Amino acid sequence: MKSAENYNYAFLDEGSKREIRRCVLKAVAIPGYQVPFGSRELPIGRGWGTGGIQLTLSLIGPDDTLKVIDQGSDESVNAVNIKKFVRLTTNAEVTSDTRKATLIQSRHRIPEIPLENNQILIFQVPIPEPLRIVEPREEVTRKMHAEKDYAPIWLQLYESIIRYGKVTISTEYPCTVENRYIMNPSPIPKFDNPKLHMSKCLYLFGAGREKKIYAVPPYTNVVSLAFDDVPFERESFKGKKCRLCGSTDTYLDEIFDSETGERFYQCSDTSYCREVRLNAAE
């Protein structure tokens, strides 16, 4: 696809974008509720972020600035190609600066810099249903949500405690939204779960293959599941720091150098890491 002349603005036709925006409104009105939508065909395969892209394409306007991250990185193949595609069909500005972006499409991370109320974070979600791990049938999980029957997911946490002495879920850690629906916060690490709580920005979750959209509006109560006597705990990077910027309070990726056998840590959020280094240099 070299020229965008033959395509509608933001690739999708206006009717499709309007339908997706209606679903977004419903999702915002019922925080954590999975709204079904007619997922469109895109020039990328299902499972490569089509849910997130459809949300981005439906919401992006000429004045928006887009940032796309993949596991915290602005430069991964997936992030770069999504940026190229959106830029080609909208001519919108793209950036790697979290503060400048009005729309941020993300695969599996929330940026380290707290987001503001003029920003929207769009997640690419592979499996939107938090109960899928305990119940394979869609009609049953829908009923379970309707009846607020969440005992099986609590049981999953308890089983983890019995087997390993602690809750071992590291990503897709389920959380309750506004004390009603249990939500799968896309596969973000549980380190990022607290950032969903009472956030200033709007979080949108799009699952293209599963045809579901859900949302966490600004200033929404989002609580990660935890037993009264076993509190929720984020990943701990105690005693470790980013080898590039020296940060100790960010989510760190562990990198293993097979040649030297050395193991070191680096900020997962590459733009944040770069900013810290630039500030230090100045």
Partner 1 sequence: MQLNEKPVLQVKNLTVRYGDGCPHCQEKLEKNRCTVCGTVWAANDVSIDVYPGEVLGIVGESGSGKSTLMQSLYFDLEPTSGSAFLSGYHNGEDSIWNASAAEKRNIKNCVMGMVYQNPVRGLRMDYSAASNIAEKLIAAGNREAGFMTERAKELLTSVEILTSRMGEAPKNFSGGMQQRVQISKALANNPSILLLDEVTTGLDLSVQARVLDLIRRIRAQYGISILLVSHDLAVIRMLADRTVVMLDGRIIESGLTDQILEDPQHAYTQQLVHSLL
**Residues touching partner 1: how many (CB under 8 A)?**
17
Q: Does 163 bind partner 1 (CB under 8 A)?
A: yes
User: Is-catalytic flag, 23?
Assistant: no
Q: Which stretch binds partner 1 (CB under 8 A): 42-50, 198-206, 222-230, 232-240?
A: 222-230
Among 229, 249, 257, 282, binds partner 1 (CB under 8 A): 229
163 or 238: CB nearest partner 1: 163
136 binds partner 1 (CB under 8 A): no
Q: Residues 1 to 40: which contact partner 1 by CB under 8 A?
A: none
Shortest Cβ distance from residue 231 to partner 1 (Å)? Answer: 11
Q: Does the active-site annotation cover 245?
A: yes
- The one among 139, 228, 249, 259 contacting partner 1 by CB under 8 A: 228
Which DSSP string do the residues of the chain spell out, in sequence order?
----TTSBTTBS-HHHHHHHHHHHHHHHHSTT--EE--PPP-SS-TTSSHHHHHHHHHH--TT-EEEEEETTBSSSHHHHHHHHHHHHHH--EE-S-TTT-SEEEEES---SSPP-TT-EEEEE-S---TTTTT---HHHHHHHHHTT--HHHHHHHHHHHHHHSS----BS--EEETTTEEE--TT-BGGGHHHHTT-SSEEEEEETTTTEEEEE-TT--EEE--BTTB-------TT---TTT--SSS-EEEEEETTTTEEEEEES-HHHHHHHHHHHH-
For partner 1, which residue of 25, 29, 151, 278 counts as binding (CB under 8 A)? 151
Selected from 29, 155, 255, 278, the binder of partner 1 by CB under 8 A is 155
Active site residue 242: yes
Q: Say whether residue 139 binds partner 1 (CB under 8 A).
A: no
**Distance in angstroms (rounded) separating the CA atoms of residues 282 and 270:** 18
Q: According to the binding rule CB under 8 A, does residue 154 interact with partner 1?
A: yes
Q: Of the listed 23, 32, 52, 208, which one is catalytic?
A: 32
When the beta carbons of 125 and 157 are compared against partner 1, the nearer one is 157
Residues binding partner 1 (CB under 8 A): 143, 147-149, 151-152, 154-155, 158-159, 161-163, 227-230
